[in-house]
Amino acid sequence: MTRSIDATCLWPARALLGEGPVWSPAQGAVLAVDIRGSRILRLSLADGARAEWPMEDAACWLVERADGDGFIAGLRSRRVVHLRLGEGAAEIVSDLLRLEEDKPGNRLNDAKADGAGRIWAGTMDDAESDATGSLYRIGPDGGVTRADTGYTVANGPALSPDGQTLYHTDSAARTIYAFDLAVDGALANRRVHIRFGEGDGYPDGMTCDAEGGLWVAHWDGGRVSRFLPDGTLDRTVRLPVSRVTSCAFAGPDLDRLVITTAAFERPDEPLAGGLFECVPGVTGLPPARFGLANRA
């Protein structure tokens, strides 16, 4: 029997497109991006302190650097940069690379680091109509490999606890794929892992827990679902908003699930765009960082 959990709102941030929650153990805070609102949000879990940074070129995702010097950020313009968050201002320290300069209609959308310090980042058609997006692997040395292609809305990379399976989504196709991930970063054996029905909305951001469960946000579905490694639905987190975008485990014990949402085209949902949390009953995996050969 599927277990149901209710989420509560931590911060009614009214993000137009809240995405990419990241737990920073060093800061004791959750960070997230508001892609359409062009800002970065930070919430301290210990005292609830809030901060935000406007971005001229919106950040689509953040990954902490292994050396502790800020973040690697993927920007809407398809730039991947070294970013520091200072007092009231976000500083782009340097550009690491640019992706898809031949595809001005595309943008970056979602990314995660793996245990080898690599970033897996997807691109998408900003108009959400053509399958021009791809999945890229960015090595700690800045080297880039196009690992897969043919995505309309590339979304939600997630890594299994043993690091041997990578999950990736094409939201427009309502499909989550699984890949075998080799030690050297090569992907193989792409297969359909979960396919959403029309009543489920669209699979969006996702994360794995320490038991191998896959937690998936439902865009236009008002919930987060946990699926067992075999794809069986195990439990559901209910939210009072429809556009649920992503989730991540947070807190010193990684026993809290924080959830981002979107207020875009949802004027009648007062808490849309808020940052939510629940106690999921399992613990997550420590967040990986760019440039580190093991998890933080």
Within a domain: 73: yes
| Mean pLDDT rounded to a whole number for the chain | 96
- pTM here? 0.96
Residue 216 lies inside a defined structural domain of this protein: yes
CA dihedral 148, 18, 140, 45 (to 10 degrees): -140
Using the predicted structure, report yes or no on whether residue 211 has a pLDDT greater than 50. Answer: yes
Active site residue 6: no
CATH of the domain at 251: 2.120.10.30
**What does DSSP assign to residue 70?**
-
Band of residue 2 on the pLDDT scale cut at 50, 70, 90:
confident
pLDDT tens by residue, 260-292: 999 999 999 999 999 999 999 999 999 999 996
| Spatial CB neighbours of 56, under 8 Å, sequence gap ≥ 6 | 38
Backbone angles phi, psi at 172, to 5 degrees: -60, -30
Q: Which of 110, 125, 204, 209 is catalytic?
A: 204
Assess whether pLDDT exceeds 60 at residue 293: no
- The answer to whether residue 24 scores a pLDDT higher than 80 is yes
- What does the alpha-carbon distance between residue 259 and residue 261 come to, in Å, rounded to a whole number? 7
User: Is residue 241 in a domain?
Assistant: yes
User: According to the model, what pLDDT value does residue 107 have?
Assistant: 97
Whether residue 125 is contained in a domain is answered as yes
Number of domains in the chain: 1
Residue 286 lies in a domain: no
Within-domain flag for 293: no
- 294: pLDDT confidence band, cut at 50, 70 and 90? very low
Q: What is the pLDDT of residues 118-176, one digit of tens each?
A: 999 999 999 999 999 999 999 999 999 999 999 999 999 999 999 999 999 999 999 99
**Is 288 within the bounds of a domain?**
no
- Alpha-carbon span 118 to 239, nearest angstrom: 32
Q: State whether residue 223 is helix, strand or coil.
A: strand
Bridge partners of 108, per DSSP, are: 123
The boundaries of the domain holding residue 114 are 3-278
Q: Is 126 left (phi over 0), alpha (psi -120 to 50) or beta?
A: alpha
86-97 pLDDT, tens digit each: 987 999 999 999
Q: What are phi and psi of 85, to 5 degrees?
A: -105, 105
Q: Encoding tokens for residue 206?
A: 């996702």
Residue 296 confidence class, pLDDT cut points 50, 70, 90 = very low
- Asked whether residue 158 is domain-assigned, the answer is yes
**How far are the Cα atoms of 97, 151, 199 from residue 227, in angstroms, in the given order?**
35, 22, 17
Q: Rounded CA gap, 60 and 82, in Å? A: 13
**Mean pLDDT within 225-251:** 98
Average pLDDT over residues 102-106: 96
